[in-house]
Amino acid sequence: MNNNLSKFSLKHRVAYEIRKSIFDGKLEQGEKITESQVSQDLGVSRTSVREAMLLLELEGLLISSPYKDTRVATINQEEVLELLLPMRVHIETFALKKGFPTWGEKTKEEFEHILENMKKAVHFEDLSTFMELDIQFHELIVTSSEMDNVIRIWESIVHRIRLHFLYQNRKSGTLQKWLSDHEELIHILVHGTSVDEAVDALGKHIMDTNIPDVYLLE
Amino acid sequence: MNNNLSKFSLKHRVAYEIRKSIFDGKLEQGEKITESQVSQDLGVSRTSVREAMLLLELEGLLISSPYKDTRVATINQEEVLELLLPMRVHIETFALKKGFPTWGEKTKEEFEHILENMKKAVHFEDLSTFMELDIQFHELIVTSSEMDNVIRIWESIVHRIRLHFLYQNRKSGTLQKWLSDHEELIHILVHGTSVDEAVDALGKHIMDTNIPDVYLLE
DNA sequence: ATTTGTCTGATTGTCGACAATTTGATTATT
DNA sequence: AATAATCAAATTGTCGACAATCAGACAAAT
């Protein structure tokens, strides 16, 4: 288990590990996952796994049937495209409006740092790491609003969108395109002065990078 | 503890009781709440209380500080008005668009039934029951979409809005006004034929009944 | 007087054991 | 043969006990 996260409580670290298994494809859609198995695998008690799985259920990544089993959620394209994505745009642009005016040099450096790591990830064609960095990037926007509940709500939907994105892009390897998209956006965020421009760019970015091409043809 | 909910697991029933205490004013904003106390009061183990409190934390009703304490959340008007309410409108109108075309007589009777109970609650000037019915009403709209994740996300924000509404309306007793608002809306939902009209009415209803008058003057 | 260290009580975090429920296989009944 | 009743395995639900951490009071050192 990843010990770099030791400042977080056990349930959060366990949740992180399970999420990772899902996003890395070790757990497929609809596959069964049991508390005792995860408990053994990670060497922690079932209680902690249970709380972690409750978190993941509320993120829409797992679906539990009482006394029966718990399975990895299947995704519903309609739900993601028509409900979750617009909600995510609304949350992130709200956070951006609140946070943008308060950003200092430190925040801007964090954005640049993420961009640097993205370049490295692209160089090694490491999709998993790239997606992790993408989450960090958007999380930075959300946390910079410094409103606790905003990040909580964001977390309750973003992982499900990520799952949809993952299943969409399993084959197509357009890492280079995503990199330049982020490069452009981060430039506007870090060097731009207009909030409206930043908000606009962020909204477009989220929709563009998550809506599959085929869907646009209709 | 309310035993009418015995089909739900213990953590959900405990969560229901704590929510009730908050909405009935037995627990104030910022007040400390401990797992062991609730455990004793309700006669259930701390484990179940703990899971219930985790649910409530993710609904934004409680805020926990690790190893320290857990408190009833304070509300942030800006967050509710600019973030949560628009999100709620988006969720409920989405659910309405999906569900409306599928409603049968049974669903319509359920709406009428809730309306009847609202009338009774107004007659007895029972604000607590009226709000419970309001939640049931909106929940019916959301569940009628038959998309599991929609109700999950709705639950993650609606209780916090309700808390804001409660603190806004502690004194002013305009129950009669709320009743006629609901009466009008339910008429459109049950007897109307146009989805667009229903969606429009629902959106206006949510915003109107939750935005305090003073806010509109600015 | 201020800082530093130590103890103590309160509270949350983690654990292993046992209870309850579901499912499917097996057996009994008609 | 079809149906009903019973059992066993797997899994989640609930529980009480112990561990870890934090805040504040109090004492010790400077």
Contact A153 B148 (CB under 8 A): no
Tell me, yes or no, whether A84 and A167 share the same domain.
yes
Give me the residues of B, 73-132, that contact A with CB < 8 A: 76, 79, 82-84, 86-87, 90-91, 94
The domain in which residue B200 lies consists of: 77-217
Segment A60-79, tens digit of pLDDT: 999 999 999 999 999 999 99
Contact B149 A79 (CB under 8 A): yes
Among the partner residues A50, A60, A90, nearest to B87 by beta-carbon distance = A90
Whether the predicted pLDDT of A172 surpasses 90: no
Domain end (from B55, B72, B89):
B72
Tell me, yes or no, whether A14 and A87 share the same domain.
no
What is the Cα–Cα distance from A56 to A16, expressed in whole angstroms? 9
The pLDDT confidence band at residue B192, using thresholds 50, 70 and 90, is confident
Tell me, yes or no, whether A97 and A141 share the same domain.
yes
Segment A6-40, tens digit of pLDDT: 678 899 999 999 999 999 999 999 999 999 999 99
What is the Cα–Cα distance from A66 to B4, expressed in whole angstroms? 18
Tell me, yes or no, whether A35 and A142 share the same domain.
no
Tell me, yes or no, whether B105 and B39 share the same domain.
no
Domain end (from B42, B72, B102):
B72
The pLDDT confidence band at residue A128, using thresholds 50, 70 and 90, is confident
**Residue B140: CB atoms within 10 Å:** 18
Share of residues in chain B with pLDDT > 90 (%): 76
CA-nearest residue to B67 within chain A is A9
Please check whether residue B46 is in contact with residue B90, taking contact to mean a CB–CB distance below 8 angstroms: no
The pLDDT confidence band at residue A211, using thresholds 50, 70 and 90, is confident
Measured CA distances, A109 to A8, A118, A186, B141 (Å): 24, 14, 11, 46
**What's the confidence (pLDDT) of residue B169?**
76
Tell me, yes or no, whether A102 and A207 share the same domain.
yes
Tell me, yes or no, whether A20 and A123 share the same domain.
no
Q: What is the pTM of this model?
A: 0.91
Tell me, yes or no, whether B112 and B202 share the same domain.
yes
Tell me, yes or no, whether B129 and B150 share the same domain.
yes
Please check whether residue B176 is in contact with residue B122, taking contact to mean a CB–CB distance below 8 angstroms: yes
Q: Is B71 helix (H, G, I), strand (E, B) or coil?
A: strand
Burial of A181 (0-12, 13-18, 19+ CB in 10 A): middle
CATH assignment at residue B128: 1.20.120.530
Contact B58 A87 (CB under 8 A): no
Nucleotide nearest to B32 (CA to C1'): C11
**What's the confidence (pLDDT) of residue B171?**
61
Share of residues in chain A with pLDDT > 90 (%): 76
CATH assignment at residue A36: 1.10.10.10
Q: In a mutagenesis test of the B interface, which of A62, A80, A83 is the best target, namely the one with the most B β-carbons within 10 Å?
A: A83
Tell me, yes or no, whether B87 and B128 share the same domain.
yes
Tell me, yes or no, whether B8 and B113 share the same domain.
no
Distance from CA of B40 to the nearest CA of A (A): 21
Q: What are phi and psi of B64, to 5 degrees?
A: -110, 140
Domain end (from B72, B106, B132):
B72
The pLDDT confidence band at residue A213, using thresholds 50, 70 and 90, is low
Average pLDDT of chain A? 91
Number of domains in chain A: 2
Tell me, yes or no, whether B112 and B193 share the same domain.
yes
Please check whether residue A195 is in contact with residue A96, taking contact to mean a CB–CB distance below 8 angstroms: yes
The pLDDT confidence band at residue B202, using thresholds 50, 70 and 90, is very high
